[in-house]
Amino acid sequence: MLICEKYQEENFQCIILKHDKMGHLCGYVGISDGHPFFGKNYNQCLNGCEGEENPSIFSERTFKNYPCLWKENHNSIEKLIDVHGGITYSDSCLPNENLDNVWWIGFDCAHLGDLVPKMEEIFPSNPGDVEYRDENYVRNEISNLVKQLKEQR
């Protein structure tokens, strides 16, 4: 991941990264220890439902499956926050960015309707079917994310 821009907005750390292989942008906001989402996985149930550990087929890490995930009473960061493509990341570190006591929450611009440069080389799309989400677009979505994170305090 390549750093495109780092800045602060309303006392939140913000960063725009570009995927070094695929070429799409991602936006992240860092929250501090006092925020209710600090340390929480983006799909973790915030109602106290205990998830079940499951091994990942993709890595050494495990992930939690929340039995209430598709139920109406499931509350999670990804359900409470509305950004482009939904929240797709929450962790204590980012590539090239490891700050103490910061929990990163973010999104990516590699969804249906997004122009992902490397995918476009392999599978060209029809003009108008996809759009490249540039730094201005991601910056606006980060502002939207910051606003929503402030409301959750």
Count Cβ atoms below 10 Å from residue 45 Cβ, excluding itself.
21
At 83-125, the pLDDT tens digits run 999 999 999 887 667 677 899 999 999 999 999 999 989 988 8
**pLDDT, mean over the chain:** 85
Count Cβ atoms below 10 Å from residue 38 Cβ, excluding itself.
16
Secondary-structure percent of the chain, ordered helix, strand, coil, rounded to 5: 20, 30, 55
User: C-alpha angle with apex 150: 73 to 28, nearest 5 degrees?
Assistant: 90
What average pLDDT does the segment 66-79 reach? 68
Decide if pLDDT at 153 tops 90.
Answer: no
At 121-145, the pLDDT tens digits run 998 888 789 999 999 999 999 999 9
pLDDT for residue 4: 93
What average pLDDT does the segment 36-61 reach? 71
At 1-29, the pLDDT tens digits run 899 999 999 999 999 999 999 999 999 99
Q: List strand residue ranges (DSSP E) for 1-111, in order.
A: 2-9, 12-18, 25-32, 52-55, 62-65, 89-91, 102-108
For residue 50, name the pLDDT band (cuts at 50, 70, 90).
low
Note the pTM of the prediction, 2 decimals. Answer: 0.86
What average pLDDT does the segment 43-58 reach? 65
pLDDT for residue 24: 97
Do 109 and 133 meet the contact criterion of CB atoms below 8 Å apart?
A: yes
Count Cβ atoms below 10 Å from residue 33 Cβ, excluding itself.
10
Decide if pLDDT at 57 tops 90.
Answer: no
